[in-house]
C-alpha cells in the first residue's frame, strides 16, 4: 500500500466508519447519477490524484473526468471535475475528497503567490510545520505551487537548531560535534539568531546558515559577513504581507512555515446534476 492509499484509508475510516447511515436510508443502491465539483474562488488546483483515490477506494466503477489538473490555475465558479456512477458512492466520498482538494489547493495557491513575488534566484522552502500524517501530501502541494521542499523529516537532512546549540554550549560547539562524524555528502545547516552566531557558523564551516527572526538590517549585515562563503536561508514570521522587503536581498532560500500551517483552504463544492437508472 502506497502513502496516498494509507492516508485515504485512514480518512475514509474516520468519516464513514461502519457506514453512511443517512445515504443508505435515503438513496437506492442502484440509483446512478452525475455530479460536478466546482471551485468557488481563484486558486492553483492540487489534489486530483488523491481525489481519484478516494472515490475509487469507495467504488472503482465510478467514472471521473477531470477538466483541470494539479498546478493549473482555476477561476471562480469553474468546474474542475465530473463524477458519474452510483450516487451512494459519490456522496460517501464527497466530504473527504473535498477536504483534501480544499486543503492542498490552499497550500499550492499561497505558495504560488509567494513564488511569483520573488526573483528566480530565491527559492521558497517549506518546513516541518505540517499536520501529523499529512506531510507527504502537504509537501507535494508546496511543489505544485512552485516551492521547494526542505528536509522531509529529522532523518534526511542536518539542521542544527537553537536548542541543539544551547544544549552543547553554543553554535561553534554544535558545529564541531556534527562535523566530526557527518557523512561527506551531507550539507550542514545551522540556525543563527545574532551576528555573533553567524561569525561562529562561518568559523565552524557551515554549508548553509539560517538567519532566524532577524530584522532586515541585521540580515544585510549578516550577508556582508558571510560574503559568499555559505548559502543563506532566511526564516521567521515571513508571509505574504512582509516578503517584499526580502526581494532585493542576495539570499538563496526563504523558508515559510505559514505555507503549510496557516494556508487558507480553497472553497470547493460537489453538486448532483442529474440522476438516472
Q: For residue 220, what pLDDT is reported? A: 96
Domain ranges of the chain: 3-114+264-276, 118-261
Q: Do domains 3-114+264-276 and 118-261 have the same CATH topology?
A: no
Catalytic residue positions, numbered: 95, 129, 161, 191, 212
Point out the least confidently predicted range of 1-5, 128-132, 206-210: 1-5
SS3 sequence of 103-172: HHHHHHHHHHHHHCCCCCCCEEECCCCCCCCCHHHHHHHHHHCCCECCCCCCCCCEEECHHHHHHHCCHH
Do 250 and 224 meet the contact criterion of CB atoms below 8 Å apart? no
Q: What residue has cell string 561527506?
A: 184
Count the neighbouring beta carbons within 10 Å of the beta carbon of residue 161: 14
Q: Rounded mean pLDDT of 79-84?
A: 98
Q: Judging by DSSP bridges, how do beta strands 231-235 and 253-255 pair with one another?
A: parallel
User: What CATH number should be reported for the domain whose range is 3-114+264-276?
Assistant: 3.90.1170.20
Which cell numbers in the block locate residue 239? 508571509
Percent of the chain with pLDDT over 70: 100
The pTM (predicted TM-score) of the whole model is: 0.95
Residue with cell 458519474: 84
Overall fold of domain 118-261: TIM Barrel (3.20.20)
- 107 CB-side CA count, 13 A: 34
Q: Please, which residues have CB within 8 angstroms of residue 91's CB and are 6 or more apart in sequence?
A: 20, 23, 27
User: For position 1, what pLDDT does the model report?
Assistant: 63
What pLDDT digit, counting tens, does each position of 9-45 carry?
A: 999 999 999 999 999 999 999 999 999 999 999 999 9
* Rounded alpha-carbon distances, angstroms, from residue 7 to 47, 128, 162, 163, 172: 13, 18, 33, 32, 41
From 166, 187, 115, 120, select the one nearest 144 (Cα to Cα): 115
Q: Over the stretch 184-234, which tens digit does the pLDDT of each residue have?
A: 899 999 999 999 999 999 999 999 999 999 999 999 999 999 999 999 999
Residues 175 and 206 sit within 8 Å (Cβ to Cβ): yes
**Average pLDDT score over residue span 106-122:** 96
Query: In angstroms, rounded to a whole number, what is the distance separating the alpha carbons of residues 191 and 198?
Result: 9
Distance between CA atoms of residues 45 and 70, nearest Å: 5
Amino acid at each position: 500500500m502506497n502513502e496516498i492509499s494509507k492516508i485515504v484509508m485512514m480518512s475514509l475510516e474516520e468519516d464513514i466508519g461502519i457506514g453512511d447511515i443517512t445515504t443508505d436510508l435515503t438513496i437506492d443502491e442502484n440509483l446512478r447519477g452525475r455530479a460536478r465539483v466546482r471551485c468557488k474562488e481563484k486558486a492553483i488546483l492540487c489534489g486530483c490524484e488523491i481525489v481519484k483515490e478516494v472515490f475509487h477506494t469507495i467504488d472503482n466503477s465510478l467514472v471521473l473526468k477531470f477538466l483541470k489538473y494539479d498546478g493549473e490555475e482555476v477561476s471562480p465558479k469553474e468546474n474542475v471535475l465530473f463524477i458519474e456512477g452510483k450516487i451512494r458512492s459519490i456522496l460517501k466520498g464527497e466530504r473527504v475528497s473535498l477536504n483534501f482538494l480544499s486543503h492542498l489547493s490552499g497550500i499550492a495557491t499561497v505558495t504560488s503567490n509567494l513564488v511569483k513575488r520573488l526573483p528566480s534566484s530565491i527559492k521558497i522552502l517549506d518546513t516541518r510545520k505540517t499536520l501529523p500524517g499529512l506531510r507527504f501530501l502537504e509537501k507535494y502541494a508546496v511543489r505544485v505551487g512552485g516551492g521547494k521542499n526542505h528536509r522531509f523529516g529529522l532523518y534526511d537532512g542536518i539542521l542544527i537548531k537553537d536548542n541543539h546549540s544551547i544544549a552543547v554550549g553554543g553554535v561553534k560547539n554544535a558545529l564541531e560535534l556534527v562535523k566530526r562524524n557527518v557523512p561527506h555528502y551531507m550539507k550542514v545547516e545551522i540556525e543563527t539568531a545574532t551576528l555573533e552566531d553567524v561569525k561562529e557558523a562561518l568559523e565552524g564551516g557551515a554549508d548553509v546558515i539560517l538567519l532566524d527572526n532577524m530584522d532586515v538590517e541585521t540580515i544585510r549585515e549578516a550577508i556582508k559577513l558571510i560574503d559568499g562563503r555559505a548559502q543563506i536561508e532566511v526564516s521567521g514570521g515571513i508571509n505574504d504581507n512582509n516578503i517584499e522587503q526580502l526581494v532585493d536581498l542576495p539570499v538563496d532560500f526563504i523558508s515559510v512555515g505559514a505555507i503549510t500551517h496557516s494556508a487558507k483552504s480553497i472553497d470547493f463544492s460537489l453538486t448532483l446534476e442529474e440522476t438516472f437508472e
